[in-house]
A and B are shown apart, each in its own frame.
Chain A
Amino acid sequence: MTEPVLVSKAPPDSLFELATDQWTEPYWQAAREHRLVWPTCTACGAARELGAPFCHHCLSQDIAWKPLSGRGTLYSYTVVRFPLIEAMNDCVPYVPAVVELEGAGGHRLISNVVGAPLDALRVGAAVEVSWHDRADGVTVARFVLAE
């Protein structure tokens, strides 16, 4: 008899309390509308660091929030199997992941891959965004394995 393949769950909402500033608020506002966006420098056109008040290429503060496709690739991941704290007890296994986003100039988002059979996870796998709307009005971008 083989063991059933586990499917990745999600970390508990209680671990995360959102704080924003003027350089990150537009990202979270777009997330509420289920749009994945990335900061772009309108002076030199480079993709910017998420949350930075300046473009590190040209030091401009001019910014535009460019819509992304929501697709990406799994750059790396871990499978959290052991609940280090009580809040994790009912949530394991879950998969924190580093996702390289299509159209974000090589930038990556730290996120989760949810609903994936653990044996289907691979570095380089195609993923796409899946929105998690929380009771407190915060929306978090998570990812699922793409078809």
Chain B
Amino acid sequence: MSISNKTAIVGVGATPYYRRGESHPQTMNEMGCKAIIAAVQDAGLNVRDINGFAYYSGGFDTPALMETLGIPEVRYSAMVTSGGGGSVGAVGLAASAIVAGMADTMVVVFCMQQPAGKRYGSIMSRVEPTPDKAFYTSSGLVGPGHFFAMLARRHMHLYGTRREAFAEVAMSGRLNAMTRPEARFRTELTLEEYFKAPMIADPLCRYDFCLENDIAIAVVLTSAERARDLRQKPVYVMAAEHGGRREWGRAIASMNMPEAYFASGGHASVAQHLYRDAGITPADVDVAEIYDHFSPMVVMQLEDYGFCERGEGGAFVEAGNIRYRGGSIPVNTHGGNLSEAYAVGMTHLREAVEQMRGTAVNQVDGAEIALVTGGPASLPVSGLLLRR
């Protein structure tokens, strides 16, 4: 049984995009509920219509949401395991629940709020000591960027990828952010500025790192049939996949990926299933919202998703192919995690929905199919194809 085109995203809601820490004293539950209320209003539904939740990366407490919002009954509550890799896998989880008849109106919600005194960028300096983590915490790997820098270095070594390619990911995203009202950085980034930025962890400089923000975003899904009667133009779930191969496994938590996987985004198998399930090829994708916690991981995912051959991501990007104007595949049309904001995958999802509705700030003319990816991280990673 396929879920293809049987469900649709019918509502999107978000809180403002706060700078890191500025959303306090709101609680995560409060912010999540604000996003959910906005999403059901956008759809023309009521919170009491919700009868299922799909989460990722820790998610929310379902009874707390029910009590807060007055939701009378829930028939489905599940979470894609692991972290931000599963972000769009949660949309697939929601769609599969609806197709299976286990719920009618599903919500995917995520809130990112930096706790006082902690920040995501140095999160590994505060992890609870465990026997498995001992093999990397001793090495001064304080933040995720330190790990991904080593994947980037290997890609450069194997394929001759240049920092100019990482710069192009940052610059093209910034160009898109300049016209996006929610974006936190809206001034042009030049190649000269990129190369003058402080080096955080070779080969990654400040502009290769995602932003840190406080944001909640929710989307509402229902059956394709019911979606036709609602307020917004339905955005159909063509295919969704979460998982990945053992060779990628814990990825940066083990660094034992075989050669073909180490300098990659770990999405190759997910991409194959996704295209097969949707019955399309990469050439059919009109716009791609690609998880960019670190700029080199966009280069590697472009390879995973077949927009270019393995090892050619650097040259592909440097040739201007990911630009909103003139590119063969416009990428991160909202400015992405590097320039717009970071919400562990949800900003990419929101932008893809807007692109498919035809309401995006940087609307890709005639775009009918959008790809969204979850973050390269420990499995599962995830991919999603939406269509108009």
B263 to chain A, nearest CB (A): 8
CB < 8 Å neighbour of A15 from B125, B131, B200, B255: B125
Q: How far is the CA of A70 from the CA of B125 in the complex (A)?
A: 27
Cβ of B140 and Cβ of A11 under 8 Å apart? Answer: yes
Chain B 138-162, CB-CB to A under 8 Å as 1, else 0, gives: 1111110010011101100100000
Cβ of B122 and Cβ of A96 under 8 Å apart? Answer: no
CB < 8 Å neighbour of A82 from B198, B203, B254: B198
B119 to chain A, nearest CB (A): 9
Which of chain B's residues has its CB closest to A23's CB?
B131
Interfacial residues, chain B to chain A (CB-CB below 8 A) = 121-122, 125, 129-143, 146, 149-151, 153-154, 157, 198-204, 254-256, 258, 262
Cβ of B143 and Cβ of A84 under 8 Å apart? Answer: yes
Residues of A within 8 Å of B255, CB to CB, are 75, 98, 108, 110
Residues of B within 8 Å of A18, CB to CB, are 129, 134, 138
Cβ of A80 and Cβ of B201 under 8 Å apart? Answer: yes
Q: How far is the CA of A107 from the CA of B198 in the complex (A)?
A: 33
Which of chain B's residues has its CB closest to A111's CB?
B139
Cβ of A82 and Cβ of B201 under 8 Å apart? Answer: yes
A87 at the interface (CB under 8 A from B): yes
Residues of A within 8 Å of B153, CB to CB, are 76-78, 123
Q: How far is the CA of A72 from the CA of B66 in the complex (A)?
A: 55
Cβ of B125 and Cβ of A87 under 8 Å apart? Answer: yes
Residues of A within 8 Å of B135, CB to CB, are 24, 50-51, 109-110
B138 to chain A, nearest CB (A): 4
Residues of B within 8 Å of A147, CB to CB, are none
Q: How far is the CA of A53 from the CA of B218 in the complex (A)?
A: 40
Q: Which 4 A-B pairs have the closest CB atoms?
A: A11-B140, A78-B149, A79-B202, A19-B129
Cβ of A24 and Cβ of B140 under 8 Å apart? Answer: no
B131 to chain A, nearest CB (A): 4
B266 to chain A, nearest CB (A): 15
CB-defined A-B contacts under 8 Å, sample of 28? A11-B142, A12-B140, A15-B137, A15-B140, A15-B142, A16-B137, A17-B137, A20-B131, A24-B132, A24-B134, A24-B135, A49-B254, A51-B131, A75-B255, A76-B151, A76-B262, A78-B201, A78-B204, A79-B201, A81-B199, A81-B200, A82-B200, A84-B121, A84-B200, A88-B140, A94-B140, A96-B150, A97-B150
List which A1-36 residues lie within 8 A (CB) of chain B.
Answer: 10-12, 15-21, 23-24, 28
A140 at the interface (CB under 8 A from B): yes
A40 at the interface (CB under 8 A from B): no
Interface centre among B140, B142, B153, B203 (most CB of A within 10 A): B140
B149 to chain A, nearest CB (A): 4
Cβ of A24 and Cβ of B131 under 8 Å apart? Answer: yes
Known contacts being A81-B201, A82-B201, is A98 close to B150, with CB within 8 Å? yes
